[in-house]
Amino acid sequence: MTIIEQADFPSTLGMDTEPVAGQATPMLLGVATANPPTRYSQRELVELLAIDDPKIRGIFLNGGIESRYLTLPSVDKEGNFRSETQGELLAKHRRYGVATGAAAIRKCLSRIGKDLDEVDYLVAVTTTGFLTPGFSALLINELGLSPGTARLDVVGMGCNAGLNGLTAAAAWSTANPGKLAVLVCTESCSAAYVYDGTMRTAVVNSLFGDGAAAMAVSTDGAHIRPAADPPPRLLGMRSYMIIHAMDAMRYDWDDEAGKFSFYLDKEVPYEVGAHVETVVDQLLGEAGLRRKEITHWIVHSGGKKVIDAVKINLGLTNHDLRHTVSVMRDYGNLSSGSFLFSYQRLLAEGRVARGDYGVFMTMGPGSQIETALFQY
C-alpha cells in the first residue's frame, strides 16, 4: 500500500478555523452543472438498444439508475443504432464537451456574480476522449476568455480526476492570491460506448451519463458576492493508489470494434471498500478530526456496489449519501464531474452551517481514491 502525497495547502489542519497569517486558503466560491439535451430512462434505453439478454436487462434496470443524459447515435434504415467510428465518437466528445462545459462555466460565474473576463485560470478535466488542443483551449475560444488566461488540461485520469483538477486549481489560487480560477469537468460518456452485446460493454453502457460541472475557486474574499454566505474553505487533500488493482479500471483499444472501450473489473467495489478507510482516516487525522465530526459526505456516484462499499466501510448512513444516491438515480455516473453534481445538491438543500466540515471523495482508474476536506 502506498500513500501518494498531494499538494498540501497552507491550511488550518489540526488548528483553529482561521487562516494562518500570511497564508492564503482556497475558497469554493460556487458550482454549476449542465447536460446535453437528450435524456432517457433506463427502461427506454433497454428498448431502444433492443436488449433481450435477461442478465444485461437486469444490469440496466437494477443498478440504482432511473434516467441519464446521453447522446445516442443516429439510426439506420432498419431502425437500428448505427455503429459510430472512433472519429465520429471524438467529434461527439468535442461538440458536446465544449457545449456542456461552456454552459456549466457560464452558470457558475453567473451564480457568484462574476464575468467571463474575470477568469484568470482554467482547469479542464475530461476522460472520455482525447483532443489536441484540449478542452481548456477550446473553452477559452468558445467563451471568449482573455488570451492571457492560464490553463491546464487533466486528461485520462477517470472518475477521480475532478479532485485532481481541484488540487491544481486550489494550488494555483494559493500561489496567485486574489485571482479567480475555474475548474470544469466535462464528460460525454456516450462518446466512449461500444455496442457489442458483451457483458463487459453492457456494464459500462448501463452506468455512465453525459454532463459537465464547473467550480470557481479563489483565495480572495473580494470574489464573494455581496450579502452571500461565506463559502467553504478547502483545508487539505489526500490520495491513495491501490497499486495491485491498477488494471481494474482502464480504457483499452478494441481491435475488433476499432475504437476505445472502457473496462470495469467486478472487484472494483471491493477494492474501493477495502482501502477507503485508510485514506479518509489519514485525511481526517491530519486535521485532528474523526468521521463523526464530518457533517457532509460528497461521494462520487460510482455505481450501486461502490456506494454500498463506501457506506459499509466508513459506517455512513443513507442520509450521509443521499446526494450521491440521488445523483446516481437521476444522472448515472457522470465520471469526473459526479461529485460536483452532488455538491450542488447539498448547496441547494440549504442545510449547511458555519463550522460544518465536509469531505469530497472520488475514485477511479489507478485504482485511485481521492479525498478533500472542506469547512464552512
Q: Annotate 204-229 with DSSP letters as a single string.
A: HHTTB--EEEEEEEES-GGGSPTTPP
For the chain, the helix, strand and coil percentages under 3-state DSSP, each to the nearest 5: 40, 25, 40
pLDDT of residue 132: 94
How many beta carbons lie within 10 A of that of residue 247, not counting itself? 11
pLDDT of residue 366: 92
Q: Annotate 266-285 with DSSP letters as a single string.
A: TTHHHHHHHHHHHHHHHHHH
Catalytic residue among 108, 159, 185, 189: 159
pLDDT of residue 90: 94
- Which three three-digit cell numbers place residue 4? 501518494
Query: Which of 201, 170, 165 minimizes the C-alpha distance to 185?
Result: 165
pLDDT of residue 23: 61
Q: Contact at 8 Å (CB) between 189 and 221?
A: no
Q: Contact at 8 Å (CB) between 217 and 27?
A: yes
How many beta carbons lie within 10 A of that of residue 373, not counting itself? 24
pLDDT of residue 4: 34
pTM: 0.92
* pLDDT in single tens digits along all 376 residues of the chain: 333 334 444 443 333 334 444 568 999 999 999 999 999 999 999 998 888 999 999 999 999 999 999 999 888 888 788 889 999 999 999 999 999 999 999 999 999 999 999 999 999 999 988 899 999 999 999 999 999 999 999 999 999 999 999 999 999 999 999 999 999 999 999 998 888 878 888 889 999 999 999 999 999 888 888 777 889 999 999 999 999 999 999 988 988 888 888 888 999 999 999 999 999 999 999 999 999 999 999 999 999 999 999 999 999 999 999 999 999 999 999 999 999 999 999 999 999 999 999 999 999 999 999 999 999 9
Q: Contact at 8 Å (CB) between 346 and 339?
A: no
| Cα–Cα distance for residue pair 16/14, rounded to 1 Å | 7
159 is catalytic: yes
pLDDT of residue 81: 84
Specify burial of residue 184 (Cβ count, 10 A radius: 0-12, 13-18, 19+): buried
- Which three three-digit cell numbers place residue 154? 487533466
